[in-house]
């Protein structure tokens, strides 16, 4: 039975009819440098919306390390970009579907460090831009599922792209569970969800220059399994329950460390 708590969505257009050359300007800007002051302006606007309107809170954002890192959240809503980035002090850069690059938002994306990926094709430009971002020690957000899940549940299987990026660059991956964003559109019916973003511990994979698709899929599966575990924890224990468990685990780890060095 369909989830009637989800507002009706427009049919998704998977392929973008515009040629690859149309998006060169976005890639070039991101490859040249980091997001500018527009990023902070958007963050200042979105922070009160996230915290006050959506009652957004984060768990373990300190798991995001310095240096190059791939941040891998589940994906339900167009708001997920903002939910992930709001709680991280670093200026993260986002890979987003090319269909979003139209109208006035193009200017925001260009200055905010967002770059397009053309779905349904082998978009080497998107990977070249991702490599450039990680090479300069920045953080990038890439969704395992390759697009929004429109069922209200996590996708059945991740795409191998995130595995390819991790193996090609050797950058650590931080799995992230965003809970509640599947019902963001319900605000139109005066049903505002409570958003929780939990950042997992970084996962590292050995760098492989010419990885196979099977190797890439295996990495994607491992990352998505951890996302599932984080999401299931939020479903089972709720925000407060997960916070309590994380604190207990960290106290136990500190005690274990003191014992080992005694």
3-state DSSP of 55-113: CCEEECHHHCCCCCEEEEECCCCCCHHHHHHHCCCCCCEEEEEHHHCCCCHHHHHHHHC
Q: Is residue 51 part of a domain?
A: yes
Distances in Å between the alpha carbon of 108 and those of 18, 62, 103, 104? 20, 27, 10, 7
Token digits for 192?
A: 């505002």
More confident residue, 186 or 177: 177
Residue whose token pair is 């369909």 = 2
Q: Is residue 82 part of a domain?
A: yes
Q: Is residue 189 part of a domain?
A: yes
Q: Is residue 15 part of a domain?
A: no
Over 80: is that where the pLDDT of 215 sits?
A: yes
Helix axis angle, 161-169 relative to 213-261, nearest 10°?
60
Tallying the residues shown for the chain, one arrives at 262
Nearest-angstrom CA–CA distance, 124 and 146: 15
Report whether 175 contacts 221 (CB < 8 A).
Answer: no
Q: Is residue 246 part of a domain?
A: no
Beta-bridge partner residues of 97: 117
CATH of the domain at 101: 3.40.1130.10
More confident residue, 206 or 258: 206
Nearest-angstrom CA–CA distance, 189 and 209: 50
Over 70: is that where the pLDDT of 219 sits?
A: yes
Nearest-angstrom CA–CA distance, 157 and 138: 27
167: closest CA among 206, 124, 140, 223? 206
Token digits for 116?
A: 């397009």
Q: Is residue 14 part of a domain?
A: no
The per-residue pLDDT for 8 is 46
Residue whose token pair is 């399994």 = 225
Nearest-angstrom CA–CA distance, 6 and 187: 10
Q: Structural domain of residue 98, as residue ranges?
A: 20-204+211-237
Report whether 148 contacts 77 (CB < 8 A).
Answer: yes
Read off the pTM: 0.89
* Number of domains the chain is built from: 1
Q: Is residue 252 part of a domain?
A: no
Over 80: is that where the pLDDT of 186 sits?
A: no
Q: Is residue 78 part of a domain?
A: yes
């Amino acid at each position: 039975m369909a989830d009637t708590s989800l507002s009706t969505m427009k049919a998704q257009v998977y392929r973008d009819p515009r040629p690859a050359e149309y998006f060169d300007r976005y890639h070039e800007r991101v490859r040249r440098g980091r997001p500018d002051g527009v990023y902070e302006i958007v963050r200042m606007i979105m922070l009160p919306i996230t915290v006050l309107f959506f009652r957004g809170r984060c768990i373990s954002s300190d798991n995001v390390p310095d240096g190059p890192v791939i941040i891998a959240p589940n994906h339900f809503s167009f708001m997920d970009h903002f939910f992930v980035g709001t709680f991280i002090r670093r200026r993260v850069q986002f890979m987003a579907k090319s269909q979003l690059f139209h109208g006035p938002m193009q200017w925001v994306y260009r200055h905010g460090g967002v770059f397009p990926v053309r779905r349904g094709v082998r978009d080497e430009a998107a990977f070249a831009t991702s490599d450039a971002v990680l090479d300069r020690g920045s953080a990038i957000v890439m969704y395992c599922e390759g697009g929004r899940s429109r069922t209200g549940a996590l996708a059945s299987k991740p795409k191998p792209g995130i595995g390819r990026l991790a193996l090609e660059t050797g950058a650590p991956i931080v799995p992230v569970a965003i809970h509640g964003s599947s019902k963001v559109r319900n605000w139109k019916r005066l049903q505002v969800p409570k958003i929780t973003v939990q950042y997992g511990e970084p996962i590292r994979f050995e760098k492989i220059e010419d990885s196979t698709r099977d190797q890439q899929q295996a990495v994607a599966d491992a990352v998505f399994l951890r996302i599932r575990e984080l999401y299931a924890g939020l479903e089972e224990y709720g925000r407060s329950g997960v916070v309590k468990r994380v604190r207990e685990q960290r106290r136990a780890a500190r005690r274990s460390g003191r014992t080992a060095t005694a």
